[in-house]
Structure 1
Amino acid sequence: MRGQPTETLPEPEPTRPEPDLTHHGDAEVGEGLVDLAVNVRRDAMPDWLADPITAALGDLAAYPDPGPARAAVAARHGRPPAEVLLTAGAAEGFVLLARALRGVRRPVVVHPQFTEPEAALRAAGHQVERVLLDAEDDFRLDPARVPADADLVMIGNPTNPTSVLHLAADLAALARPGRVLVVDEAFADTTVAPGVAGEPESLAARRDLPGLLVVRSLTKTWGLAGLRIGYLLGEAALLERLAAAQPLWAVSTPALAAASACATPVAVAAERAIAARLAADRDHLVARLSALPGVRVAGRPASAFVLVHLPGAADVRLTLRQRGWAVRRGDTFPGLGPDWLRIAVRDPATTDAFTEVLAEILET
């Protein structure tokens, strides 16, 4: 009616663009850039790993035989071979899951985490639900946040990109009959804890949890991203379903040789030593970053990378590229935004050089 005040509607909140789930750290790297964007270790390959891979090149006329490598991986984790499925990198495991488990009704992915699991599910036609962990809680898992009727749950541990190591008990609380619980342990071999001889909070040896499927990768610590080797650990019946969706001879003979070599006691001991050195290098990186104005390191990093919050991070990332440094943008991970960056752990000299450049950029 005339004379009555006009109701003012609130301005709608701006919607954040949907994250690009197909963006990965290798897209950040370019010629002449120091790579702090990809979480792959680049040290020289030890002879005990290089020699079997090289020897396998003489057997390329024969079709790959996964039997010995499967048995070696199974022995490492205290499982029968039927509970191991070798894959062309961990990423193939996510594709197999998405294709083989088409009957799931409520798949849930816990974010922020590696985006390939959700991307594979969506590509296979699944309607994916997200559980977004909170930065204020250091991206820690609260099992109660996951819907009780979710019949497929995916989570990383330690999680990429947050570097959070969730408690094994919290993850185990998510397992239940009728649900497939996928725990991505691609970076489990980078973790250490005082008084723990092996990998803290890993579920790789757990055979008592219904529906548990552990995803593992050998490409990070051993610098084998180009070789493509990983594996799945879980109930034999579940792995049979996944194997039915896998192409024949999916894993090459050199990759199988690498899997066998990385399962030996020599390899495991070397892996633990590398993880201990990585922890010291990570502490150095965290200390240098924490001393910079406006930079906040998320939580308590436990892996080969750290996540930082920095207002204006998108512009800082571009300026870093101009200065010769590549870091991983955070806005392609659900639950993060343009003010987040992921930075790979490198040796102290590289860290010092990087943080000096970052300090100069922040000063201007």
Structure 2
Amino acid sequence: MHAPSSTRRWEIDAVRGLMLVLMTLTHLPTRLTMPLGQPFGYVSAAEGFVLLSACMAGLVYGRQALRKGVPAMRRAFWRRAVTIYACQAALLLFLFTVIAFIGLKVDQPAVTMLMSFYLDKPLEALVGGLLLVYEPPLLDILPLYILFMLASPWLMTFALRHGWAPVMAASILLWLLAQFGLSEWLYGHFIDAIPLSVPFSETGAFNMWAWQFLWIMGLWMGASRNDPQAPPFAFPRWSLWVAGAVALVCLVWRHAVGQVPFPQGSGLNPLFDKWLLAPLRLIDLFALTVLAIRFGPALLARLPRLHWLETLGSASLAVFCAHLVVVLLALGLLGADYERPWPQDLALLAACFGTLYAVARITLWLDRPDDDPPPPAARGLSAPR
């Protein structure tokens, strides 16, 4: 289910690989978790990964719509959504069986707290999880992808015919409503219509109605590159100075103060809220995006290509799922210990990233394009006479 090599952008794959590395370092319980969380300011790897994934989807599937037609694009989106759903279902079953057994066997609070709703109501949790209603911690981002992939063909079809302006306007409106409780309001009406009692707190940390803005912005950025007449993204000089100032302030602020920008209990912290994609967080993300678009190509041209990052990014879905498996096993077997001796942490990190790289290489080998099919006789068919 990977895009053909001719449609891939190695630089996007490399940055997605970097985002996967940062997410793994954030989720894996080691001494590096806190210092490497949000390393570029008050923006996490999740924002960058979602934006880049949407950009790649817009680029690849938009090109498919132009070359093969809208129906082909829709089928490709839906096939990808089914693949991601299968991954989510497999991860849920892994969590509910292997990790639950380990957590209960060793009485591991890091696991039992993570899946407390399942342990209390296993049947409702299983059904709710398969319906993408119940989303345990760490397993709450793939449901976003599934829903976004299902909605994307309709959004892109509309945008291809009527332009992106109305789509972006509706997306901004939904993001704004999300800041004022849209998700809670919709949940209150939705949960009454299904025979499940999943609490709102168990429906995932990521606010879908806020994060859809990031996805749609990425779709537009990627799809717009398929127009040969499209001008390159350009920014006036003053905006680069503003973006640089914002990025620098947030970078210094984050590493001087910590991942929480204001004292605990301050009413200003919600302005940087990750799960709502709050306004100040979005400003920091915009600043970093502007700088990356303007200066990234020149920087990449001067740096050696890190092929191992490209490999991770090219097999992003498999690597993301594998990183969750490794993290859940680490939490179940070792607990949420962030003060282990350095040799143990280094061994854990080496085992983790070795596993992720092996998964990426195997995935790409299995999904490699069959450019040189074997002759008919080799496929068990008679050669034509």
What's the TM-score, normalizing by structure 1? 0.27
Please state which structure has a larger fraction of its residues in strand: 1
Please state which structure has a larger fraction of its residues in helix: 2
What's the TM-score, normalizing by structure 2? 0.26
RCO higher in 1 or 2 (8 Å CA, sep ≥ 6)? Answer: 2
